[in-house]
Amino acid sequence: MKNLVVYYSRTNVTKTLGDEIAKRLNADTEEIKSKVNYNGKIGYVRGGKDAISEKIVDLEELKFNPQDYDMVYLGVPVWASKAANPMISYIKQNEGKFNNVKFFITAGGRGFEDTCRQMEKFTGKSPLKTFFAKTKEVKNGEFKSRLDSFLK
């Protein structure tokens, strides 16, 4: 089975999780890069505002076509109880190109279910599995013990 791990990560939390998934699966990895600057405190506020409005933003050039993969793992942080809009932009840019999907979602506290429903809406796919991890779980490595069942 050919796997692609795609993620957006503003603070490297979702990146840490995505890189671990890719390593375990020996999968190709696509890190989404937004042309909008979401760094720092101003970026944090801009990100929340953009997520609420589901704003589509321009992305840096992508390397992989998700249509070429049996399974695409989509990883995103929660922003204002929504998926970070660079991920929504990626999904819109690749509309109709997903065979099977699994979602991995990171958040400081809550918003997992709402983000998952939003991702389902935009991909037009129900994920075969989902994985939710709080920021502190990722930072201290606790998520690793739960990852095997998500990857099966």
**pLDDT at residue 11, as a whole number:** 94
**Which one-letter DSSP state was computed for residue 12?**
S
Instruction: Read off the pLDDT band of 48 (50, 70, 90).
Output: very high
pTM over cut 0.75: yes
Q: What is the pLDDT of residues 83-121, one digit of tens each?
A: 999 999 999 999 999 999 999 999 999 999 999 999 999
**pLDDT at residue 103, as a whole number:** 98
Q: Are 51 and 89 in contact (CB under 8 A)?
A: no
Q: What is the pLDDT of residues 116-152, one digit of tens each?
A: 999 999 999 999 999 999 999 999 999 999 999 999 9
Spell out the residues 6+ positions from residue 102 whose beta carbon is closer than 8 angstroms to its own.
71, 72, 73, 74, 127, 128, 129, 130, 131, 150
**pLDDT at residue 39, as a whole number:** 92
Domains of the chain: 3-151 (3.40.50.360)
Q: What is the pLDDT of residues 66-93, one digit of tens each?
A: 999 999 999 999 999 999 999 999 999 9
**pLDDT at residue 105, as a whole number:** 98
**pLDDT at residue 120, as a whole number:** 96
Q: For 57-71, give the secondary structure using H, E and C.
A: CCECCCCCCHHHCCE
